[in-house]
Structure 1
Amino acid sequence: MIKRAVKKEWHEKVRTCIQKRPTIHADQIFLVSLKVTKINQLVMSPKDAALWKAQERLMSLLKGCSSMKHLKEMHARIIQTGFDQNLLVMGKIIEFCAVSVHGDMNYAVSVFDRIDKPDAFILNTMIRGFGNSRLPEKAIDLYRRIQGKPNAAPDSFTFSFLLKIISGLGSVTLGKQLHCSILKLGLGTHTYVRNSLLHMYGMLKDIETAHHLFEEIPNADLVAWNSIIDCHVCCRNYKGALDLFTRMLKSGLQPDDVTFVVALSACGAIAALDFGRWIHSLIQDTKLGVSISVNNSLVDMYAKCGAVEEAYDIFNNIKGKNIIS
């Protein structure tokens, strides 16, 4: 009974500190109460209920961090407890450093370099962080550095993040190298990865490779169709984009607002007014005319096709106009 009362008292103190003043004081009370020293958290037994609860509370405290100063103080005490080898806890620290608005990518790198066997979540978080930084190419360097390391096997999300970064860098060579790695790991048929590849080749204006990839898909989903249509628009093959749009409809798939926006941009580019009017009728049938992005695309298409009155009519009926309107 005494032990339970003491535990309850500790929990109440931590909760009060978090609610009244979410600073390091709550962390101090909790970490002092842990009484854990240099335990290998990578092999925590399911029977170690106290350690699992400690991990859960650490994750909660880390989630409440509001600055790098706060996080660094927490990290210092986490090292003293032995939880610096716990991948969930370290993943939370890296996530704050790499992707939060208060983060510090340099500190994320220093933490990452001390982890012997980073898991896929930690790796992906680092790649996301580099992708949002001023040096996105460092994400590629990191991927190369961890290749072959145990426990750091990339997954479908890893490649999706990397492919997006390569799209921004505009490197066909890097794109093809990563594509080879994807095929070697057997992830080439993964829907998420495959659609990311389509998008990348479209952004790199490699329409031939993108089209070859698309034709190999047995039952292309809407994302794949949108990607290949957009690929043709990016490469200024507007007629090809509209042919694919028609083919998609014949396959039985229903377009979404992304499909309509891309197809309407193709119509506007080549002044295909009749085709644009047909798409407009489809939009009215599917009730997607309420989408601000679709309405803006209709206005743009009609204006570029010289149908100013129709463009003005749609503009006047748009609810919640934005700056694009």
Structure 2
Amino acid sequence: MECTRLSSLPDNLSSYLKCRAIDPRVVHGVSFRLGCLCSTFLSNNLLQVYVSRFMIVDARKLFDITPQRNVVTWSTMISGYAQIGNLKDAIFLLREMLASRIPEKEDENGLLPNKFTFGSTVVGCARANDLRTGVQIHCNIIKFGVESDTFVAGALIDMYSKCGKVKESWNIFDQTPIKDVVSWTTMITSLANSGWHHLWDYAFKLFKDMICRGIQPVGMTFASLVKTFDAPMKLSQAKQAHGCMVKLGIEVDDLMGSALIAMYGRCGGMDEVMRLSDRINHDVVSRTSLLVAYMQNGFNVEAVDVFHKMIEEKFIMDVFVFASVIGACSILEELGMGKEIHCHALRKGFTSDVSVSNALITLYGRCGEIRKAQRVFQLMRDRDMISWTALLTCYSQNGYGEEALLLFRQMLQEGLSPPIFSITSAIRACSTTASLFMGQQIHSRIVKMGSADNLSVENSLITMYAKCGSIEVAKRVFNSMTNRDIVSWNALIVAFLASCKVHGNVELAKIAAKNILQVRPEDPTPYIILSGIHASMGVWDAKARFRAMMKDQGLQKEPGRSWVEAQDCSEDIFDILQVGGI
């Protein structure tokens, strides 16, 4: 009777481990005092509880004193290290396990690594993004013949995917004879997270194949799939996936609701965005998704309203939210609101973030607050190419051509490689300063870059050459264009709105000016040129009349710049272009 009671002690002690309220170290201590740790069954149960609660130090102490270790003991300890990302100790134990086995007695000592041992190690490699070790483990998996197991296959697919080897992930998936929902979902996730748009279509095809084969998707399948719908042309596919979720009864929790809002925002499905917004309990993630969805689809007022709700609800917002809402204020040219948000960002210390500062430079530039844009730029500890381009655009758009060229020179001096948008802004700056020399050098650089056929570049070149007096060159650029838009035509018309002034053809100038104002009523150029033509002919009353008309329309002439100063700046930049091989 006493022997029976003693033999049942390990089972009784193991039952206490099921209660989360009990500290496993208490059971460990009692077991040690009663001499029950010689039971491999009890030791393994205790080890699994330690690992599940991430008490890895206690787990290792128990592992080291366990007298009879079996494959479960080793696998559980290896899994514990892998779960916390300690791949070094996990691999060390696996090698020790392999070294301690006796090949001719594998069935007796039970130390043959199994699918759980290898699968757990591969999971650790995925978390550590350790491709080299993962490949070594893969070789052992093949050696021990467990590569066809669905758990191992799924772990390998995930590991190769997270290490950027999507092709290898696909090969494993394709060669796995029996694929469960985890295998399908992991492969879809691999394709969705690849970052390569051409693979996203394959993710949707794989999803449809999964359905056709009778494999029912789970929430994780849809959570990965919705990332692949990123354009209005994919709205129909997005609706199909969402409809499948509803049909299968997949719960749309707050996190999934946020993902769906983001999906429909990217696809332009604003009706669906608004319906989902009314159905979920909002948190900071869903509010952020809603704000971005509104911005992506031109609902900037609504985006700002969402931001105000987030403030009212006292959500903890990140820099992405602030950068986004400042961008909305920039598009709306809401300077006052932008300044308020700038104050909020200052209080939270977010202005040190590059994306927030870049958004502020753009905001102040669009609203004509040049000095504030400069100040934000100067206070930035770290700047990226967007920072430089934002300030350069700010100068260019507001007629500060000389400052734009000086900034462009500074970019070159610091060894930066300006993107095409920066170069376009520099071309526009040449237009305002009538700096033909510098414009020609930038034009040469564009040809070397192979970007001379960019539409915005060509339009800028037409305007630049026209304003610098090279009408024939402007015409040649126009004639060489493979694609033209309304800006292209307007630029050339304005170039010719200038030749009328040279030849004193007032009537033709009036006709051209009338046509331009019908298309671009905000453009002061027709008034300025008509005023200049009449002044050159001594018709001062007409000159004053056109100036008054321009003033009544609230239009302003671009600020004048010194040709001499601009030429000096151009020569400096030319030297840098030559030295830098640009």
Match of 1:178 in 2: 241
Match of 1:241 in 2: 303
Match of 2:203 in 1: 139
Match of 2:386 in 1: 324
Match of 1:204 in 2: 267
Letter of the 1:278 counterpart: E
Q: CA RMSD in A?
A: 3.8
Letter of the 2:209 counterpart: R
Per the TM alignment, residue 100 of structure 1 is displaced from its structure 2 partner at its CA by 2.3
Q: In structure 2, do the counterparts of structure 1 residues 290 and 114 end up closer, same or farther at CA, with 3 Å as the change threshold? A: same
Q: Is the 8 A contact 1:188 1:194 kept in 2?
A: no
Q: Is the 8 A contact 1:225 1:248 kept in 2?
A: yes
Q: Is the 8 A contact 1:271 1:305 kept in 2?
A: yes
Match of 1:43 in 2: none
Q: Is the 8 A contact 1:156 1:190 kept in 2?
A: no
Q: Distance in 2 between matches of 1:145 and 1:36?
A: 45
Tell me if 1:93 matches 2:159.
no
Per the TM alignment, residue 55 of structure 1 is displaced from its structure 2 partner at its CA by 3.7
Q: Is the 8 A contact 2:229 2:266 kept in 1?
A: no
Tell me if 1:165 matches 2:228.
yes
Match of 1:253 in 2: 315
Mean CA deviation greater in 256-265 or 68-77: 68-77
Match of 1:224 in 2: 286
Per the TM alignment, residue 272 of structure 1 is displaced from its structure 2 partner at its CA by 0.7
Q: Deviations over 1:231-260 (max 9, x none)?
A: 111111212211222233223324321211
Tell me if 1:126 matches 2:187.
yes
Q: Is the 8 A contact 1:124 1:157 kept in 2?
A: yes
Q: Is the 8 A contact 2:330 2:366 kept in 1?
A: yes
Q: In structure 2, do the counterparts of structure 1 residues 296 and 65 end up closer, same or farther at CA, with 3 Å as the change threshold? A: closer
Match of 1:273 in 2: 335
Number of residue pairs matched?
292
* Structure 1: runs of 5 or more not aligned: 12-17, 40-47
Q: Is the 8 A contact 1:130 1:136 kept in 2?
A: yes
Which of 1 and 2 has greater Rg? 2
Q: Distance in 1 between matches of 2:288 and 2:114?
A: 46
Per the TM alignment, residue 207 of structure 1 is displaced from its structure 2 partner at its CA by 1.3
Other structure's SS at 2:317 match: coil
Mean CA deviation greater in 174-183 or 281-290: 281-290
Q: In structure 2, do the counterparts of structure 1 residues 301 and 104 end up closer, same or farther at CA, with 3 Å as the change threshold? A: closer
Select the residue among 21, 44, 66 that pairs with 2:132: 66
Other structure's SS at 2:347 match: helix
Q: In structure 2, do the counterparts of structure 1 residues 97 and 161 end up closer, same or farther at CA, with 3 Å as the change threshold? A: same
Tell me if 1:195 matches 2:258.
yes
* Structure 2: runs of 5 or more not aligned: 1-66, 75-86, 388-582
Q: Is the 8 A contact 1:105 1:130 kept in 2?
A: no
Per the TM alignment, residue 177 of structure 1 is displaced from its structure 2 partner at its CA by 0.6
Q: Is the 8 A contact 1:99 1:128 kept in 2?
A: no
Letter of the 1:250 counterpart: E
Q: Deviations over 1:260-297 (max 9, x none)?
A: 11111111112110010011111122222222221221
Letter of the 2:147 counterpart: D
Match of 2:489 in 1: none
Per the TM alignment, residue 194 of structure 1 is displaced from its structure 2 partner at its CA by 1.0
Q: Distance in 1 between matches of 2:257 and 2:323?
A: 22
Mean CA deviation greater in 286-295 or 308-317: 286-295
Per the TM alignment, residue 95 of structure 1 is displaced from its structure 2 partner at its CA by 2.3
Letter of the 2:379 counterpart: N
Q: In structure 2, do the counterparts of structure 1 residues 91 and 324 end up closer, same or farther at CA, with 3 Å as the change threshold? A: same
Per the TM alignment, residue 182 of structure 1 is displaced from its structure 2 partner at its CA by 1.5
Per the TM alignment, residue 148 of structure 1 is displaced from its structure 2 partner at its CA by 7.1
Letter of the 1:130 counterpart: L
Match of 1:294 in 2: 356
Per the TM alignment, residue 298 of structure 1 is displaced from its structure 2 partner at its CA by 1.3
Q: TM-score, normalised by structure 1?
A: 0.75
Select the residue among 143, 148, 169 that pairs with 1:77: 143
Q: Distance in 1 between matches of 2:352 and 2:302?
A: 27
